[in-house]
Amino acid sequence: MNKQLTISQLTINNNEHYHGSPKNIKITMLLIWSLLIVNYSFAAGAIVQTTDALLIGGGARPLGMGRAFTAIVEDADAIFINPAGLAGLMAPEFMSMFTNLLGDIYYSEFSGVIPSPVGTFGVGYVTTGVNQVLVPIDPTTTVVSDYYDDLLVFTFSAPLALFFDYGRGIYLGINAKIFNRGWVGLSNASATGYSADFGIKYVVSPYLSFGFNRQNLLPIDLGGVLRYQSGAEETVAGINKLGVAIRPKPLNDNLLLACDVDIPAQSGRPVTGHFGAEWRFNKYFMARAGADQSLDASSPTLTSWNPTVGLSMSISGLRIDYALHPYYNNPSFATTYLSISFRGEKWSTLTGETR
Amino acid sequence: MGTKGRIFLALFIIGCCLFLDENISYSKYQLTARAVSLGSAAGNSLSYRIRGLARFIYPRVPASPGFIIGEGFLRSVYISRAILKPIVTGITPDSAIVGKIVNITNLSGANFQTGAAVKLSKTGQSDIIATDVSVVSPGKITCAFNLSGAVAGLWDLTVTNPDGRSGTLPSAFKISYSAPTVILITPSKGINDQQYIDTKISGTAFRSGLTVVLAKTGEVDINGEAIELKSADELNCRFNIYKKATGIWDVKVTNDDGQSALLAGGFKLESPEVELTKPVELQVSSNPQNPSIKITTIRYNLSKDADIVIDIFNMRGEKIWSLTSPVASSGGQIGQNEVVWNGITAFKSVAPSGVYIIFLTAKTGGQTKLLSKLKLGIIK
Residues A202/A210, Cβ–Cβ less than 8 Å: yes
Q: What is the pLDDT of residues A275-295, one digit of tens each?
A: 999 999 998 999 999 999 999
Position A288 scores a pLDDT of 97
Position A250 scores a pLDDT of 84
B53 pLDDT band (50/70/90 cuts)? Answer: very low
Position A5 scores a pLDDT of 46
Q: Which of B292, B310, B319, B359 to mutate to test the interface with A (most CBs of A within 10 A)?
A: B319
- Cβ within 8 Å, pair A142-B282: yes
Q: Where are the beta strands (DSSP E) in A117-238?
A: 119-138, 141-159, 170-183, 191-205, 208-215, 226-228, 233-236
Residue among A103, A129, A297 minimizing CB distance to B346:
A297
Residue among A56, A134, A136 minimizing CB distance to B317:
A56
Q: Does A102 contact chain B (CB < 8 Å)?
A: yes
- Cβ within 8 Å, pair A295-B318: yes
Residue among A55, A137, A191 minimizing CB distance to B316:
A55
Residue B82 placed within a domain: no
B1 pLDDT band (50/70/90 cuts)? Answer: low
**Residue closest to B303 by CA, chosen among B234, B200, B372:** B372
Last residue within a domain, chosen from B246, B270, B294: B270
- Cβ within 8 Å, pair B375-A134: yes
The enclosing domain of A181 has a CATH number of 2.40.160.40
- Cβ within 8 Å, pair A48-B350: yes
Domain that holds residue A200: 2-351
Q: Looking at this predicted complex, what is its ipTM? A: 0.87
From A27-41, A220-234, B282-296, the region with the lowest mean pLDDT: A27-41
Answer yes or no: do B212 and B299 share one domain. Answer: no
Answer yes or no: do B152 and B185 share one domain. Answer: no
- Cβ within 8 Å, pair B347-A268: yes
Tell whether the model's pLDDT for residue B33 goes beyond 80.
no
**pTM score, whole prediction:** 0.72
Output phi, psi for A259, to 5 deg.
-145, 135
How far is A163 from A107, CA to CA, in rounded Å?
Answer: 37
Residues B162/B170, Cβ–Cβ less than 8 Å: no
Position A354 scores a pLDDT of 38
Position A349 scores a pLDDT of 55
Domain that holds residue B331: 281-378
If one counts the domains in chain A, the total is 1
Answer yes or no: do B151 and B186 share one domain. Answer: no
Residue type, B177: Y
Position B291 scores a pLDDT of 82
* Kind of pairing between the strands at A239-246 and B87-92: unpaired
B336 min Cα distance to partner chain A (Å): 19
Residue among A103, A130, A270 minimizing CB distance to B355:
A130
Position A42 scores a pLDDT of 56
- In A44-83, the residues whose Cβ lies within 8 Å of chain B are 48-51, 53, 55-56
Residue among A50, A101, A297 minimizing CB distance to B317:
A101
Position A258 scores a pLDDT of 97
Tell whether the model's pLDDT for residue A41 goes beyond 60.
no
Answer yes or no: do B242 and B288 share one domain. Answer: no
Output phi, psi for B245, to 5 deg.
-65, 135
- Cβ within 8 Å, pair A294-B319: yes
Answer yes or no: do B333 and B288 share one domain. Answer: yes
Question: Taking CB atoms and an 8 Å cutoff, what residues of chain B touch A137?
Answer: 379
Q: What is the pLDDT of residues B41-50, one digit of tens each?
A: 333 344 444 4
Q: Does A86 contact chain B (CB < 8 Å)?
A: no
Residues A49-80 as b or e (16 or more Cβ within 10 Å = b): bbbbbbbbbbbbbbbbbbbbbbbbbbbbbbbb
A169 pLDDT band (50/70/90 cuts)? Answer: confident
Last residue within a domain, chosen from B41, B76, B111: B76
A267 pLDDT band (50/70/90 cuts)? Answer: low
Tell whether the model's pLDDT for residue A308 goes beyond 70.
yes
Q: What's the Rg (C-alpha) of chain B? A: 39
Answer yes or no: do B70 and B92 share one domain. Answer: no
A55 min Cα distance to partner chain B (Å): 6
A19 pLDDT band (50/70/90 cuts)? Answer: low
Q: What is the pLDDT of residues A334-345, one digit of tens each?
A: 899 999 999 988
Q: Does A263 contact chain B (CB < 8 Å)?
A: no
Chain B residue closest in CA terms to A228: B380
Contacts of range A129-133, beta carbons closer than 8 Å, 24 or more positions apart? A129/A105, A129/B355, A130/A104, A130/A105, A130/A106, A130/B315, A130/B355, A130/B357, A130/B375, A131/A104, A131/A106, A132/B375, A133/A183, A133/B355, A133/B375, A133/B376, A133/B377
Q: What is the pLDDT of residues B308-363, one digit of tens each?
A: 999 999 999 899 999 999 998 999 999 999 999 999 999 988 999 999 999 999 98
Residue B98 placed within a domain: yes
Question: Taking CB atoms and an 8 Å cutoff, what residues of chain A touch B348?
Answer: 267-268
CA angle A257, A198, A203 (to 5 degrees): 40
Edge-first strand order for the sheet with B140-146 is: B87-92, B101-110, B140-146, B131-137
Question: Taking CB atoms and an 8 Å cutoff, what residues of chain A touch B309?
Answer: 298
Tell whether the model's pLDDT for residue A30 goes beyond 60.
yes
If one counts the domains in chain B, the total is 4
Last residue within a domain, chosen from B23, B45, B76: B76
Q: What is the pLDDT of residues B221-267, one digit of tens each?
A: 999 999 999 999 999 999 999 999 998 999 999 999 889 999 999 99
Answer yes or no: do B110 and B156 share one domain. Answer: yes
A350 pLDDT band (50/70/90 cuts)? Answer: low
How far is A284 from A198, CA to CA, in rounded Å?
Answer: 33
Answer yes or no: do B291 and B374 share one domain. Answer: yes
Residue among A50, A51, A134 minimizing CB distance to B377:
A134
Residue B81 placed within a domain: no
Q: What is the pLDDT of residues B158-208, one digit of tens each?
A: 999 999 999 999 999 999 988 999 999 999 989 999 889 999 999 999 999
B155 min Cα distance to partner chain A (Å): 58
Residues A28/A200, Cβ–Cβ less than 8 Å: yes
Question: Taking CB atoms and an 8 Å cutoff, what residues of chain A touch B286?
Answer: none
pLDDT (mean) for B133-146: 95
Position B12 scores a pLDDT of 56
Exposed / middle / buried, residue A180 (Cβ in 10 Å: 0-12, 13-18, 19+): middle
- Cβ within 8 Å, pair A181-B354: yes
Residues B245/B221, Cβ–Cβ less than 8 Å: no
Say what percent of chain B tops pLDDT 70: 78
Residue B126 placed within a domain: yes
A120 pLDDT band (50/70/90 cuts)? Answer: very high
A220 pLDDT band (50/70/90 cuts)? Answer: confident
The enclosing domain of B150 has a CATH number of 2.60.40.10
Residue among B282, B319, B324 minimizing CB distance to A136:
B282
- Cβ within 8 Å, pair B377-A147: yes
Residues A95/A59, Cβ–Cβ less than 8 Å: yes
Q: Does A183 contact chain B (CB < 8 Å)?
A: yes
Q: Does A109 contact chain B (CB < 8 Å)?
A: no
Residues A292/A324, Cβ–Cβ less than 8 Å: no
Question: Taking CB atoms and an 8 Å cutoff, what residues of chain B touch A139?
Answer: 283-285
A160 pLDDT band (50/70/90 cuts)? Answer: confident
Q: Which of A105, A187, A216, A226 to mutate to test the interface with B (most CBs of B within 10 A)?
A: A105
Edge-first strand order for the sheet with B234-240 is: B181-186, B196-204, B234-240, B225-231
Residue B275 placed within a domain: no
